A and B are shown apart, each in its own frame.
Chain A
Amino acid sequence: MTESATELDTPDLDSCVRIGSIVSSNSHLDYVVEIFKERDCDRPPELHEREFGQPVFIKKVIDGTEHAVMGVIYDTKLVDPDQGRTGPRLAQDDQAQFTPGYIEERTTLAGVALLGTAVVTDDRTIADPTHRMPRWTLEVDDTVYHCPDEVTVSFHTVDGQIQLAYLDRLIDIAGDLGAEVIVALIDRLRRMLPEDDPNQRVLDVVEQNIEWQAHERRGVV
């Protein structure tokens, strides 16, 4: 956050950190992303750049117009192919790349829920955000980018008002961690908005509602 305001007023979508690539999907809105490691790219994401609740985007050209399909990391999972095996390993470390489609090394997977879409403008930022369900399907190996907070805010701003209209869909996908991922998103938005922005109080009410519903669902209250 500290690095945001000064030099990155309008972050360039092309220079965003690559987080990983899509390996599979559970449904139309629910994708599995394998997080990049040293070997996969020049600058793999740092831990805080692919944390729980991190907004992400995938670039797609639709009918000649470039779009950003927006998503959020709502879950992560570690995969260790060695787990449960005994004895020495048969495969060499660098053999993994010859067996595409199989994860044969230690990997971090992230669940990404799609939130909506926006148009990518000529100056490499976004416009016309919509929280309606994206109609397009992503593909295996599509690159998933870290979404800078400024872009996150503009994706959430419709007519000057903060919106999280995808909320019920996100809760459906994220399941048990739905409330937490929303609270993480709200926190992020709140940090970006000025203290006296009227949207702050609206976000408070939304957060309270979400947390209360989660408590109810979990039988706390």
Chain B
Amino acid sequence: MSGKQSVVGTVAGPGEDPNEFVFVTPADKSIKTGEFITYTVSVDGENRSVFARVTNRELIRGLPDGFLADPEVGPDTVAATLGVPTDDTELYRLTATVIGYYDTDMTTFANPRQLPSPGTPLSIAPDQQLETVLPNLGCETDSADVTELDGTAHLGWLLNRPSEATNIHIPIKEFASTHLAILASTGSGKSYTASVLIEEMMRPGSRASLLVFDPHGEYDSLADIQGHDAFQGEDGYDPDVVYYDPERLRVRISELDIGDVMAVLDNPSNRMQERLSTAWRAMQRRESRTWGVDELINEMEARYGDDDASVGALEWRLRRSIERNDLFHPEDNVPLDEIVDPGQCTVLQMDTLDRWNQQLITTVLLRRMYRERLDAVRDRDSEIGHPIFALFEEGHRFAPASGDAPSLDIMRTITSEGRKFGFGLGIISQRPSKIDQDVLSQCGTQISMQIKNPNDQDAIKNSVEAAGEDVLRELPGLTPGQAVVSGDAMNTPALIQVRRRRTEHGAESPDVIEAWREAYDQRQREPAQSESADFGEGDSTGVQSLD
């Protein structure tokens, strides 16, 4: 505990909830809601610093509203006219919720089960103490130098404190094993925050094996971390960032499940489904893993005859949906050893694929990787011998609440079982209410940023048990880069400012005005004839090209 802390308020008495108390501060001790305060109580004969979070602040003594009647006349002037002293007259009543004292054996907060008695002096909790006890770092003291710890991600600092005063370093192993959700309206900083985490995970202290499923091409600038000073290890470590563009994203046809195939086909009849299933299973029993639509049709014709109408209709559909889709290939597959490696972040650029293809490639890749992880943990031959972490932009697209995606099953499996097999998922989404509830509620750590939509706020409330009501109340008012971090990676939720990236952010919204002006100039440079000829308007007053 650091020496003398200045007293900022005095406990007045218990609050409404069993864990709440009320205290009073004068105006000059401006304490914001969300601030962490401490007081000392004796628990089992030992003096403990108990932490509490300020949840509400109201003025109990101040100038009456009537003094504000004329916007041109300051309330202080009115007060002076009436001889009312205005210095330090305001008194605030604040409500705080007890978080607990830091139990160094359990390395988390323990509830003292008693409220501070009236008159107990309160202080602002010291920065270093908060840095130690707020995140779930497992420190065995309540005040450590957390920058010394390996395997942590410096995410930002407490929003209520000055910039970089109370830094929040979250344990990477927590969110990488029990999954992560980054939820916020569009433009609030989801991709930015994810990039901050990726940067932290790629540093020499962690050397993670990361995959980013990027449907919008928002992670182009991550490549800057290669060769960047902040990421070099003393042993010569230098992280790799690998981009997989859509041309290299291939799904080997034999990797598809019968369910996947049904999903891509156009309205197959019952009979067609039955025939396809039988043939598909037969193909999958074969030794060869490299067969295509031709082999499949041969198999069906062998079973049902050359002129079977259903087989004919299936052939037409299969050729259209599978053979003519570049994503599917009899042989090519994304080689797992190319996309997963420690110290490597692979960005799967899916921006030119349509939604179906994005879902299919994701489904197949997740299944293959999960299988490999299972094998690795069960000491069988495996292509992936280390834990992996995969981040999904547009998470609701891959695990939709509507159930309408082939990837949903495997996403559910990984979020509920992946912890045992070293397979962590990070779900990023601007529509929490559109994410499958099972998947969302399995994300042990949550970073929630500005969210205004009430449905989405409810979705967070329902699935994020760790974040208390008082913290969630903040969500609508946050600005880009501000976040509530809660869940497994934290001992208690905290409102933070996400730090700036070390590399530049690539997902800036394009400047519309600039784009319009550029496009207009472009148009002006085109030859004018075609336009007037096309419309045959002799007296066109449009601006003509000068060249």
User: A residues within 8 Å of B by Cβ?
Assistant: 131, 161-168, 201-206, 208-209, 212-213
Given contacts A163-B80, A202-B81, 20 further A-B contacts (CB under 8 A): A161-B77, A161-B80, A163-B81, A163-B82, A163-B83, A164-B81, A164-B83, A165-B82, A167-B83, A201-B70, A202-B77, A202-B78, A203-B81, A204-B73, A205-B69, A206-B78, A206-B81, A206-B82, A208-B66, A208-B69
How many residues of chain B get a CB closer than 8 Å to chain A's CBs?
13
Q: Which residues of B contact A165 (CB under 8 A)?
A: 81-83
Nearest to B82 among chain A residues (CB) is: A167
Nearest to B80 among chain A residues (CB) is: A161
Q: Could you list 13 examples of A-B contacts with CB < 8 Å? A: A161-B77, A165-B82, A167-B82, A201-B72, A204-B69, A204-B70, A204-B73, A205-B73, A205-B78, A206-B78, A208-B66, A212-B66, A213-B66
Taking the complex as formed, is B237 at the interface, i.e. its CB lies under 8 A from any CB of chain A?
no
CB pair B73 A202 closer than 8 Å: yes
Mask for B13-49, Cβ within 8 A of A = 1, else 0? 0000000000000000000000000000000000000
Bound Cα distance from A164 to B82, whole angstroms: 5
Bound Cα distance from A167 to B82, whole angstroms: 7
**Of A167, A201, A209, which is within 8 A of B66 by CB?**
A209
Bound Cα distance from A201 to B78, whole angstroms: 10
Bound Cα distance from A53 to B370, whole angstroms: 90
Bound Cα distance from A209 to B516, whole angstroms: 56
Which positions 35-87 of chain B face chain A at CB distance < 8 Å?
A: 64, 66-67, 69-70, 72-73, 77-78, 80-83
Nearest to A212 among chain B residues (CB) is: B66
Looking at the assembled complex, report how far the CB atom of B480 sits from the nearest CB atom of chain A, in whole angstroms. 40
Bound Cα distance from A162 to B72, whole angstroms: 16
Bound Cα distance from A29 to B154, whole angstroms: 68
Bound Cα distance from A164 to B77, whole angstroms: 12
Bound Cα distance from A51 to B73, whole angstroms: 31
Bound Cα distance from A154 to B343, whole angstroms: 82
Nearest to A207 among chain B residues (CB) is: B69
Bound Cα distance from A166 to B83, whole angstroms: 7
Looking at the assembled complex, report how far the CB atom of A36 sits from the nearest CB atom of chain B, in whole angstroms. 33
In order of increasing CB-CB distance, the 6 nearest A-B pairs are A165-B83, A209-B66, A205-B69, A201-B73, A205-B70, A205-B78
Looking at the assembled complex, report how far the CB atom of B83 sits from the nearest CB atom of chain A, in whole angstroms. 2
Mask for B136-161, Cβ within 8 A of A = 1, else 0? 00000000000000000000000000
Bound Cα distance from A204 to B70, whole angstroms: 9
Looking at the assembled complex, report how far the CB atom of B301 sits from the nearest CB atom of chain A, in whole angstroms. 91
Known contacts A161-B77, A202-B73; decide if A209 and B83 are in contact (CB<8 Å). Answer: no
Bound Cα distance from A219 to B69, whole angstroms: 21
Bound Cα distance from A9 to B66, whole angstroms: 36
Bound Cα distance from A123 to B313, whole angstroms: 118
Looking at the assembled complex, report how far the CB atom of A54 sits from the nearest CB atom of chain B, in whole angstroms. 21
Looking at the assembled complex, report how far the CB atom of B200 sits from the nearest CB atom of chain A, in whole angstroms. 55
Nearest to B78 among chain A residues (CB) is: A205
Bound Cα distance from A167 to B73, whole angstroms: 19
Looking at the assembled complex, report how far the CB atom of B191 sits from the nearest CB atom of chain A, in whole angstroms. 51
Q: Which residues of B contact A203 (CB under 8 A)?
A: 81
Bound Cα distance from A164 to B81, whole angstroms: 6
Nearest to A132 among chain B residues (CB) is: B83
